[in-house]
Amino acid sequence: MVKEKRIMFICPGWQSKKRSVIQKLNFVQFYKRDSRTIEATLRHSSKKRTYADRLKYTEIVYSCIHGGKTFQSESKGVCPNVRTFRNDCPAAIRLKAIKDGQQLEVEAFKHLPQQRILCGAEKERVAGLLKIQANKKLVQQQLMEDTGNVVLLKDLHNIAARVVPRKSVKSVVETLSAVPGADVELILRDENIVTAIFFQTASMKKTYESFPDVLMIDATYKLNAINVQLM
How many CA atoms, within 13 angstroms, populate the side-chain half-sphere of residue 72?
Answer: 2
DSSP letter assigned to residue 78: S
Distance in angstroms (rounded) separating the CA atoms of residues 216 and 208: 10
Helix (H) or strand (E) holding 155: helix 153-163
Domain locations in the chain?
5-114, 117-163, 167-231
In this structure, which amino acid lies at residue 65?
I
Please state, for a pLDDT cut of 90, what percent of the chain lies above it. 1
Helix (H) or strand (E) holding 126: helix 120-131
Quick one: pLDDT at residue 92? 66
pLDDT mean across residues, the chain: 70
Write the pLDDT tens digit of every residue in 74-118: 666 666 555 666 666 666 666 777 533 232 233 333 455 666 777
Write the pLDDT tens digit of every residue in 46-85: 667 777 777 777 777 777 777 755 556 666 666 655 566 6
Assign 3-class secondary structure to 49-77. Answer: CCCCCCCCEEEEEEEECCECCCCCCCCCC
Characterise 191 by phi-psi region: left (phi > 0), alpha (psi -120 to 50), beta (else).
left
